[in-house]
């Protein structure tokens, strides 16, 4: 499954009680994908750097999710929120 689809699946389960859990799951998804890409000779970075970038993404994503979930209601469409989260990931790749 592609990263964006996995992120979308996690966001579909989002509510005010599991924001941190969803953020951590997204952290692991990002880390897993970056480690998979890291096997490419043109993209070799230390695992520490990959985990640091994944953590930055997860922190930013958690802040966003805290802002869009009110009273167990997600204020943005799931697809739109998935796009925003995915763009956070792409934007943070520049730190590698």
What confidence score (pLDDT) does residue 72 get?
Answer: 75
**Which H or E run contains 93?**
none
Check residue 43 and give its pLDDT.
64
**pTM to 2 decimal places:** 0.83
Dist. CA 59–CA 94, nearest whole Å: 16
Is residue 90 exposed (0-12), middle (13-18) or buried (19+ Cβ within 10 Å)?
A: exposed
What are the pLDDT digits (tens) for 22-45? 999 999 999 998 888 877 666 677
Quote the pLDDT of residue 80. 93
* Alpha-carbon dihedral sign for residues 63, 65, 71, 76: positive
């Amino acid at each position: 499954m592609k990263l964006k689809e996995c992120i979308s699946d996690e966001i579909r389960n989002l509510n005010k009680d599991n924001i941190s859990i969803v953020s951590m799951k997204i952290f692991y998804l990002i880390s897993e994908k970056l480690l998979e890409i890291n096997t490419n000779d043109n993209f070799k970075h230390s695992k520490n750097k990959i985990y640091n970038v994944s953590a930055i993404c997860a922190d930013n994503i958690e802040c966003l999710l805290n802002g869009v979930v009110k009273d167990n209601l997600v204020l943005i469409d799931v697809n739109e929120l998935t796009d925003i989260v995915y763009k956070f990931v792409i934007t943070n790749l520049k730190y590698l």
